[in-house]
Amino acid sequence: MNFSIPEKASIVILTGAGISAESGLETFRGAGGLWCGHRVEDVATPEAFARNPAMVHEFYNMRRRGLLKPEINPNPAHLALAELEQKWPGEVLVVTQNIDDLHERAGTKNLIHMHGEVLKAFCHFCRSNIECRNDLSIEMTCAKCSKTGGIRPDIVWFGEMPYRMDEIFDALANCDLFLSIGTSGNVYPAAGFVSEALRHDAFTAELNLEPSLNASIFHESLTGPATETVVRFVNNLLK
């Protein structure tokens, strides 16, 4: 690492599935990116849900069950980011594309789940978010409005607007350091955050197992498993 940032620099950190890989959660595009022969893009859409809600529910039920297994825990990369937030004198915001809760479990507080959360359901009728740790189905009744048939996972699908974009772009416009961790750079708008941070003169670094699609536009690109690169990067920042 060879860069200088202000003592109280504002840091924005984008994370993707790669940060949770060493906790035992599959990435989206690993293993050919297929789920039962379907591309993620063919399951994670409002159209797929309208066509075959049972299949889409099952996709997320499997992910929820997987996340809640006792052996799935935050790894040293999640913990390092929580430590950074706690000890860094400036603002630290983690924007995650992940729908798991491993950042929260690690202790990160200033966190945006831009693609939603698998441990929440959303009622199409009353527009409530409901905590959920069990399987969802099309037959479910909403605990808030008592209507049946409107429950879906609280996930932002392809073609839908991610959550809290105003806050994210505001933070990107005001950050001194932008980090992108464990994301392939396939999915916009998240893949465009680096350009936005660069436009506002932030220093940008990518920490990924392999160079992402955007690797060449970052000031620095570190390759390796997140549990090594993130821990090393955070330790250097906190030195």
In the list 61, 186, 215, 219, the residue contacting ligand OAD (rule: CB under 6 A) is 186
Question: With contact defined as beta carbons under 8 Å apart, do 153 and 113 qualify?
Answer: no
Nearer to ligand OAD, 129 or 141 (CB): 129
Quick one: which of 20, 67, 10 has its CA closest to 183? 20
Which amino acid belongs to residue 150? G
Judged by CB under 6 A, which stretch of 28-36, 58-66, 103-111, 123-131 contacts ligand OAD? Answer: 28-36
Query: How many whole angstroms separate alpha carbon 227 and alpha carbon 69?
Result: 20
Judged by CB under 6 A, which stretch of 5-13, 102-110, 171-179, 208-216 contacts ligand OAD? Answer: 208-216
Judged by CB under 6 A, which stretch of 50-58, 126-134, 141-149, 156-164 contacts ligand OAD? Answer: 156-164
Residue 153 in the binding site for ligand OAD (CB under 6 A): no
Burial (CB count <10 Å: 0-12, 13-18, 19+), residue 186:
middle
Residue 72 in the binding site for ligand OAD (CB under 6 A): no
Nearer to ligand OAD, 49 or 157 (CB): 157
In the list 9, 12, 17, 121, the residue contacting ligand OAD (rule: CB under 6 A) is 17
Question: With contact defined as beta carbons under 8 Å apart, do 162 and 189 qualify?
Answer: yes
Query: How many whole angstroms separate alpha carbon 50 and alpha carbon 37?
Result: 19
